[in-house]
Amino acid sequence: MALRFYNNIRYGQITIRQTSVEGAKDYKLRIVAGNCLAVVNYYYTDQKTGEKMVQLYTFFEDAAHIRRILKNNGRLFSSEVKSIKFNLYYKESVTLCKLFTMAGYKVTAYYKEPKQKKNKK
């Protein structure tokens, strides 16, 4: 089955730091809904074309998938995690928040209802 994600349902955000020869750079990744527990994407604007782009960073199939990753690797992300924020409006965010906290990550939680789009008549 193909991985699908929905940009309009945002569970939260992760800020990571990646270090290269050019130095360290922080990246903000969005945690969004999908046909799995969560999809983590990097959104950016292409320097050449100016087009908005999306790059898959990782995904989590379910809670058991996260537990298996932690059991095998000891951590969910290879990069340094600077911050993690979850919107507890979504039940999936509550699950992710619990799992990430148990994995030893410091998590910030907030509650914000999504804006409802008005129907055009």
Q: Is 36 exposed, middle or buried (0-12, 13-18, 19+ CB in 10 A)?
A: middle
pLDDT of residue 74: 80
Cβ-based neighbour number of residue 76 at 10 Å:
19
Encode pLDDT of 5-30 as tens digits.
998 899 999 999 988 888 888 999 99
Q: What residues does each domain of the chain span?
A: 5-110
For residue 88, pLDDT over 70 is answered with: yes
Radius of gyration from C-alpha coordinates of the chain: 15
pLDDT of residue 22: 84
pLDDT of residue 114: 87
Encode pLDDT of 46-85 as tens digits.
889 999 999 999 999 999 999 999 898 888 888 899 999 9
SS3 35: coil
Q: What is the pTM of this model?
A: 0.85
- HSE at residue 99, side-chain half, CA atoms within 13 A, is 22
